[in-house]
Amino acid sequence: MATQKKLVLVAGAGAGLGQSLLARFEAGGFTPVGLGRTQPETTVGAFHTLDMADETAVPDVISGIIAEHDPPSVVIHNTAELVIAPFGDTTLADYQRTWTSMVQTAVLLAQSTLQPMVRGGGGTFIVSGATASLRGGAKFSAFASAKFALRGLTQSLAREYQPAGVHVCHAILDGIIDTPRSRDLHSLDPAKMMKPEDIAETYWQLAHQPKSTWTHELDLRPASEGF
């Protein structure tokens, strides 16, 4: 009987980083499955249109995927909701929306995958963070507060699940990711942006670190970015 390929799940598998992650792991021999609210025009592997904050749908969909493929070897949380506004113009709904989109989605993804990963012999769970995970900037209070919470959640998961064989890592992406949308939004030389395929290569390396040298957190930025 042929050995079943390892499964990689990417939540937030939109055009750009999400699809680059799926492509890199597929090139490495994994079965790629993407999850997200909106399916990109072109996708790598299977894609499930899913609101990752839906507390009923997420466990059902992921349990179905696991039943078909076995527990994932790699799970990546890559969802985001950016709100940029002065504090006086930021509503309570804005805070709730950013928390729901980034923290609640991570909780549901972790609840649906970590224990199956433990039972399956371990794996890697990676969370995409941002500059706002470390410091809150002016007009970023909603986004930063959710990213801070996401980082804290990831730290707690690492301390609980790494002894059980699941490598939990938080990746701080300190820069603008180069996508058609970001080029439209930002007046920035693309040479100074982060290439999605380069980030994906780093995630691939994280997922293949030996247990004697697991990284819990790393930061990535263009050489031109101040820090």
Q: Are 77 and 128 in contact (CB under 8 A)?
A: yes
- Please list, in sequence order, all residues whose beta carbon lies within 8 angstroms of the beta carbon of residue 221, skipping any fewer than 6 positions away: 173, 174, 175, 194, 227
Model confidence at 3, in pLDDT bands (50, 70, 90)?
low
Query: What single-letter DSSP state applies at residue 114?
Result: H
Residue with tokens 């492509």: 23
Given this model, what pLDDT does residue 178 score? 87
CA 137 from chain centre, in angstroms, equals 22
Share of the chain above pLDDT 70, in %: 99
Cross-strand bridge partners of residue 48: 35
Select from 44, 68, 48, 71 the least CA-distant residue to 58. Answer: 48
Bridge partners, 36 (sequence order): 49
Which tens digits make up the pLDDT trace of 170-202?
A: 999 999 898 877 777 777 787 888 999 999 999
Residue pair 52/37 in contact (Cβ under 8 Å)? The answer is: yes
Cβ atoms 110, 125 nearer than 8 A: yes
Q: Which of helix, strand or coil describes residue 121?
A: coil
User: Over the stretch 107-134, which tens digit does the pLDDT of each residue have?
Assistant: 999 999 999 999 999 999 999 999 999 9
Average pLDDT, the chain: 94
Question: pTM for this structure?
Answer: 0.95
Q: How many CA atoms lie within 13 A of 117 on its CB side?
A: 28
pLDDT of residue 1: 39
Q: Which two tokens stand for residue 106?
A: 């991570």
Q: Within 10 A of 80 (CB to CB), how many other CB atoms are there?
A: 21
Name the burial class of residue 89, with classes exposed (0-12), middle (13-18) and buried (19+) by CB atoms within 10 angstroms of its CB: exposed
What pLDDT was estimated at residue 181? 77
Domain ranges (residues) in the chain? 7-220
- What pLDDT score does 179 carry? 81
At residue 61, the 3 state secondary structure works out as helix
Enter the CATH code of domain 7-220: 3.40.50.720
